[in-house]
Structure 1
Amino acid sequence: MIKLTTPEQARRFVLERRFAGHTVGLVPTMGALHEGHRSLVRHACVQCDHTIATIFVNPTQFGPNEDLDKYPRLLEQDCQQLEAEGTTAVFLPSSDVIYPPGFSTYVEPPKVAAPLEGVCRPGHFRGVATVVMKLFQILPATHAFFGRKDYQQWKVIEAMVRDLNVGIEIACCDTVRESDGLALSSRNRYLSEEQRSRSLRLSVALRRAQQLADSGVRDVSRIEAEMRQILLSEGGVDAIDYARVVDAESLATLEHLDRPGVALIAAFVGQTRLIDNVSLS
C-alpha cells in the first residue's frame, strides 16, 4: 500500500490511473477504523480498479465543545487494516496541508444541511462540505464511498456534488451493525459496558418506527412519540438531540408518512453522542 502525504503526490497517483483508463474509488475517513470503514473499502475494491483511502481528523467539522482533542488517533493500526483489505494507497495529510496558513475559503453547504445536525451542530456541515470538496479536488477519483449511518452527511455530499457539477459518483453503503443491533461508530469505544447496553435503545427505537410504518401507521407524530418513549424510558439514553421522521430526500418535516421517509436519532449516552437511522416506506 502506497502512503501519500502531499496533495501533489495524491493527485498524481489518481490521475495516472485515470489516464490509463482505470476507475479509482475514494474512501474518506477520520481514522479509528472499524468494520464499517472496512466494508466501505471492500465495496470500493470490488467496484473500482484501485482504491485510495484518506485518514484526516478534520478540525473544521467539530464544534467548540466537541471531542476533537480526544478523538481516537490510531494511525499505524488503521494503515494495517487498510492494507489488509486491499487498499492501493492511503492519503495522510497534515492539518497544515489541508488548511494552509491564511486559509479562508469555505463551501456553503446545501439546503439539506439545515435541519437536524444543522440545528444541533451549527457549522458542522460547512466543515464537512469544505473538506470533502478539497479531497475531491486533490483526489479526482471516479467514485467516492460513504456510509449510510451518517445519513444527512450522505445527502449533503450528494447535493453538493450535483449542485457544483463535480465529476464523481457517490456510493452509499449500508450501515454495519454489531450482532445486537448497535451501529458501528468510532465513538463506541468511549462507552462503558453499562453505557453500551443503554445505547441499544437507538436501534430498538428505530426498529419500532419501522414496525409502525410497515403496519400502516402514517401519523408521524405517533411514530416520533414512540421512539422518544423507548429512548427515554428507564435504562435508556441520557438526552436526545432529535428523534425525527422526515422526507427521505429533502429531510423536510413530515406530518404524514405519504412518501418515502427516514427515521433519524441523535442521542447522548453519558457524554457520547450517537446517531442512527432507518428508512421508512
Structure 2
Amino acid sequence: MNGSWSRAFRVSLRYPRTWAGLVLTGVIAVVALLGPLLAPHGPNDIVGRPYAKPGGKAAFGTDYLGQDVLSRLLEGGFSVLVTAVLATVLGMVVGVVAGLVAGYAKGWLDEVIMRLTDVVLAFPQIVLALVLLTVAGPQQWLIIVIVGLSHAPRVARLTRGMTTTLATREFIQSAEAMGEPRGRIMFGELLPNMSGPLLAELGLRLTYSIGLVASIGFLGFVADPRAADWGMMINENRLALLVQPWAILAPVIAIAVLTVGTNLVADGIAAAAANADQNEEASA
C-alpha cells in the first residue's frame, strides 16, 4: 500500500505546479512551526503605541494594542496549521473508511451511510461549525473534530464512487474467489488503487481546512482569545486597514500563500492521476 501512495506522489513531482506548491507550502510551514523560536518579542508584549508604522522594535508595525505584528505573525501560524492538518487527517480517515464500507458492502449499509452524508452536506461547513462551537464553546479539539467531520461526507462519496467501479475488476473478483477477508480486500486491494485521487483530495481538503480554521478564528471562536492566531489577527485589526495595513496584510498573505501552495500540490497530484488513467485506458 505504501508503495502505491509514494509512487503516485512521485509521479506528481513531474509537474512544475507540484514543486511550486511544495515550495510555497514548505516556506509557510517552516514559518508556522519555527516562528515561535524566531519571534523578536512575546506575542502579548507591548512594544509601542497602537497601530504604529513599521520601524524600530516592530518591523511590521504594531496592532490595535501596540503588540508587535511580526511576533504575532510568527506565533500565530502554528495553531492554524496544526489544527488544519489534524482536521484534514481525521476527515480523510473517516471518509475513506465510510466510503469503502458503503461502496463494497452495498445494500442497506450503503443507504444508511449515504443518507447520513446527505444530512451533513445539507449544512454549509462554516454554519455547522459555528452552531456547534456556539453551543459547546470554542475548544481546540472540538474545532478539529468539527472541521474534520465536515470533510468526511465529501471524501466518503468520492471513495464510494471509486470503490463501486473497482469492485467489478477482475483482481477483486479473484480475491473474493480465493476467500480473502473483506477487510483485506478493502484496505489491501481497493484502497491502494485509489492513491492518486485520494492524495489529490487530501490536498484539496487541507486547502479548505486552512480557510475554514482561519475563518473560525476570524469570527472569534478560538480556545485562547489572547493567543496569536492569523484569523483572529485579521478580525482584531480590520478597522485600521488604511492606518496600519500590515497588521492585516501579513496574516492574509500568509494564509493566501499556504492555501495556494496546498492547492497547487493537489492540482499536480490530480493531473498525475488523470494522466495515469488515460495511459491505463490506452493500454487496455
TM-score range (shorter-chain normalised) is under 0.3
Name the larger-Rg structure. Answer: 2
Higher helix share: 2
Kindly indicate whether structure 1 or structure 2 has the higher relative contact order, using CA contacts under 8 Å at least 6 residues apart.
Answer: 2
